Amino acid sequence: QARRRSSSRFDESDSFMSGREIIYKRLFEGIAERPLFGHGTGSGSDFSGGVNAHNIYLQLMYDGGIILLAAYVIFFINSLFKTVKNIVHTDNEQDRLYSIYFLYIQVVFLIYGFTGNPLYDLYMFYIYITAVAFSKPRVSPNREKDIYKKVNVDAEGVNLH
């Protein structure tokens, strides 16, 4: 009996998409109807009985069209680039490791967005936003002093080193 259950799990009649192909078909039809501005926030889950699309990018496109999707994609890409920039330019090894960790969280969130709803699951979304917020480099208390060391002020004026 256990063998029958395990083999039926991979039976060709069962789709690995768990009914998502029906939701995706409806989403694509709706996107084609209103590609620029979409159907309104939250409308992607209305036609499927409250079930989200299991793809945040398709759901954003359905809900807000190209405009909303573009805004989110710009935010996502900007956050990734800033985090990578922090990793490359920080001198503090601990900050670098934290930034790598937060980059990992961001990448997992964005990849999971193709098969799940991390944007609409507040728990996952808060983790992502926290990773974005904490990926910024810390400003050391001595940073201001370091800046003033590079500027020499004397009686004749300011000399930059």
- Which amino acid, 75? F
Query: pLDDT, tens digit, for every residue of 75-96?
Result: 999 999 999 998 998 888 888 9
What is the pairing mode between strands 151-154 and 157-160?
antiparallel
Termini Cα distance of the chain: 79
pLDDT of 3 strictly over 60: no
Mean pLDDT of the chain: 78
pLDDT of residue 155: 53
Question: Is the torsion defined by CA of 81, 84, 88, 92 positive or negative?
Answer: positive
Residue 10, helix vs strand vs coil: coil
Can you tell me the distance from the alpha carbon of 60 to that of 68, in angstroms, rounded to the nearest whole number? 6
Which pLDDT does position 8 carry in this prediction?
A: 44
